[in-house]
Each structure stands twice: as structure tokens, then as C-alpha cells.
Amino acid sequence: MIQNNKNTNVVDMEALEAIIGFNFKDKNHLLSAITHRSYLNEHREAKQDHNERLEFLGDAVLELVITDYLFHKYSNKPEGELTAIRAALVNTVSLSSASESLGINPFLLMSKGEARDTGRARQYILANAYEAIVGSLYVDQGYGSAKDFIAKTLFDRTADIVEKRLWQDAKSRFQELSQEHVGVTPTYQTLNQEGPDHDRVFTVGVFLGKQKVTEGRGRSKQEAEQVAAMEAVKVKKWAD
């Protein structure tokens, strides 16, 4: 996926375009979408931008596409339920999973430090890259191509979310299961926050008593708590 050429990492753009399913008019749009800010700190010779602006744009396009899709697919569901389903479909876990399924991970351009991290931090980078790819498609080819990409990679995840009621508030679900299985109410603690004010990332731990069950990351404390609760159900193997 990445070829070494005189100490400069060169991405196999044709291979990347093949897994995304689109040929870009300006391949720099796609190259920027997979470039993490940390990569540019180590590679001053790189000419492309990092992906944060494209991620910002892609986030807005993604929300519109998913909202339109859910509005027409579930014509009888109330606004509150549609909002919860949308949140479950576009959260960090879902988007990073979509990126991994496509095979985006080997193409990511990151610093050596970021590249060594395969945990929650990588999950967040993968989710951001997905949004940046949506943004790059919108810039390069317009709304239609961005929508087609989202439809191909996310729409089929909706049925599972609805059927298994994964859209339900994860904190409430984990609390019910915790009280049922161990008679303890979970607590949440902010473990870390990083990034600038406009792009802050929170890491929250979920605890049963003094025992930390797992962690979650998100762009707000509330999102991080939801991710932590969702992961905690899996860790404890309390899922239906």
C-alpha cells in the first residue's frame, strides 16, 4: 500500500482509489484525507494538507446524507428515535469499523508514534479518516459521489442497529445490566482530554466500584461515556 521511495512515503493511490470505488480528478484531495497532522510534523517535504479541514466538511455531509436516508427509510419513527439511530450509525466505533472493513488502515499517513498505537487512538484516527474521505469526495466530485460512498459503506449497518436496538442509550443499558448482574451502578471518570478547543478529544473510563471496566473516546464527554458504556457491555459479555 505504501512504497518507500528515497525515504519518502508514496501512497499507492490506484490501490486506495480501488477500495474506495472512485477515481479522483485531483488525487491530492484523497491524499490529504489519509494524512494525519502528526505525519506532516515528521515529513516537512510533504506538500499535501492534513485531513482536519476535510474531516470537518465530511462530518457535515455525512450527517445530511444519513439524516435524509433515515427520514425516508423509517417514515413512522419519531424524531428522537431517528436522532439516536443516526448517532449510533455515525459514532467513532461505527465509522472506524467502516474504515477497517474497507482496508483504509494500511494507507494512513501518521507519525511513527501514532503508527505504533493500535488501540482507541487508532480507532479515532480511522473514524476521522472516514469523514475526511467523505469530504474529499464532496470537494473532488460533488454531493452525489459522497452520498454513494456513504450508502455503500454505512447504510447496510442500519438494520442491525435497529433490530438489536443498539441505538438505545448505552449508559442506561449498561446501568441496567450492571445492576442485574453485579448489583452495582457504574460511574464515569474523565481520564484525559487532548487537542485544541475546536477539536477536543475526551477519554472517559467506566468503573464498577473501583474496577475500571474499559475506556471510551469521543468529541465530547457525553459521547465518550456512551462509547465506554457500549464497549463495557461487550467486555463483560452481557450483550444479548
Q: Residue holding cell 466500584?
A: 209
Residues annotated as part of the active site: 59, 131
Q: Are residues 102 and 205 in the same domain?
A: no
Domain that holds residue 201: 170-235
Segment 169-191 shows an average pLDDT of: 91
Please provide residue 118's backbone torsions phi and psi, each rounded to the nearest 5 degrees. -110, 10
Tell me how many domains the chain contains: 2
Contact (CB, 8 A) for 13 and 27: yes
The model's pLDDT over 204-231, given as tens digits with 9 standing for 90+, comes to 999 999 999 999 988 888 889 988 998 9
Please tell me whether residues 124 and 191 are part of one structural domain. Answer: no
DSSP 8-state secondary structure symbol assigned to residue 109: B
- Do 45 and 132 share a domain, yes or no? yes
**Higher pLDDT pick, 70 / 170:** 70
240 lies in a domain? no
Q: Is 70 exceeded by the pLDDT of residue 189?
A: yes
Cell numbers that stand for 147 in this block: 452520498
Domain boundary among 136, 163, 190: 163
Compute CA 11 distance to the chain's CA centroid, rounded to the nearest angstrom: 22
Q: Domain containing 141 — which CATH number? A: 1.10.1520.10
Q: Both 155 and 180 in a single domain?
A: no
| Banded model confidence at residue 8, pLDDT cuts 50, 70, 90 | very low
Q: How far apart are CA 43 and CA 64, in angstroms?
A: 35
Cα 115 from chain centroid (whole Å)? 17
Span 50-101, pLDDT tens digits: 999 999 999 999 999 999 999 999 999 999 889 889 988 998 889 999 999 9
Domain of 230, CATH number, reads: 3.30.160.20
204 vs 223: CA distance, rounded Å: 9
pLDDT in tens, 94-146: 999 999 999 999 999 988 877 777 666 788 899 999 999 999 999 999 999 99
Asked whether residue 187 is domain-assigned, the answer is: yes
Last residue of a domain, one of 145, 163, 181: 163
Domain boundary among 118, 148, 163: 163
The verdict on 98 and 157 lying in the same domain is yes
What does the pLDDT read at residue 3? 42
Exposure string for 174-213, b = 16+ CB within 10 A, e = fewer: beebbeeeeeeebebeeeeeeeeeeeebbbbbbbbeeeeb
